[in-house]
Chain A
Amino acid sequence: DTGVSQDPRHKITKRGQNVTFRCDPISEHNRLYWYRQTLGQGPEFLTYFQNEAQLEKSRLLSDRFSAERPKGSFSTLEIQRTEQGDSAMYLCASGYAESPLHFGNGTRLTVT
């Protein structure tokens, strides 16, 4: 169990640029989640995969956000035309069945 890894740890970008984050889950986990967390708040659900299928996407997620999980392994989260309001910590988590989630240490995005 090498844990959930996320890359990069930090990303600073200018407004209007596109960014992509990567998440490598624990290998035997079939479920993968993306959450967003702002200062002083709890993680907010963005989207969820079971294997390679994206089963749910938050209604709060604009069309500028897209996530993929090709072959049910790693996942990427892309934000197009970033806005200052996108600044947050983006957390990835994985699990199997209804077991507790294992979280990565997140990618902190700052949009200037």
Chain B
Amino acid sequence: SQQGEEDPQALSIQEGENATMNCSYKTSINNLQWYRQNSGRGLVHLILIRSNEREKHSGRLRVTLDTSKKSSSLLITASRAADTASYFCATARSGGSNYKLTFGKGTLLTVNP
């Protein structure tokens, strides 16, 4: 089963524009992570935000987390054609020995040059 649900499912923008993707989840979490996947490849970790954090930045990425609404957003500023990929949010539940990530269905981002 997949906990996270990304919105929109697909997004097409022009180079230089900002891209915003949203993720909603259902249960309490330990942290939320965003991954990127180029076609036919594995996933690459982008950024992790813990449940007690509200906002985090990494380069052109900005992630917010609202645990009261069980939602997160990923903002990519000044997009480039190379940002074209699928983006997935993944939630991690409480720690201990049972630590796994549950992924959403993803947002397919196309950045047109």
Question: Secondary structure of the B side of the interface?
Answer: loop
Q: A43-B88, A98-B92 are in contact. Are A103 and B43 (CB under 8 A)?
A: yes
- CB pair B105–A41 under 8 Å, yes or no, is yes
Give per-residue flags for A32-52: 1 if the beta carbon is below 8 A from chain B beta carbons, else 0.
010100001111110010100
- CB pair A31–B99 under 8 Å, yes or no, is yes
Minimum Cβ distance to chain A for residue B47 (Å): 9
Number of interchain pairs (Cβ within 8 Å)? 58
Interface status of A79 (Cβ within 8 A of chain B): no
Q: A4-B42, A103-B43 are in contact. Are A42 and B88 (CB under 8 A)?
A: yes
- B-chain residues with CB within 8 Å of residue A4 when the two chains form the complex: 42
Q: How far is the CA of A50 from the CA of B33 in the complex (A)?
A: 20
Q: Which of B2, B42, B102, B106 contacts A91 (CB 8 A)?
A: B42
Q: Which of A35, A42, A98, A101 contacts B95 (CB 8 A)?
A: A98
- CB pair B103–A42 under 8 Å, yes or no, is yes
Q: Which of B4, B100, B101, B103 is most buried by chain A, counting CB atoms within 10 A of its CB?
A: B100
Q: Which of B4, B43, B99, B103 is most buried by chain A, counting CB atoms within 10 A of its CB?
A: B43
Known: A44-B2, A98-B95, A100-B45. 6 other contacts (CB 8 A): A41-B105, A42-B4, A45-B100, A45-B102, A56-B100, A106-B41
3 tightest A-B CB contacts, nearest first: A103-B42, A42-B103, A100-B45
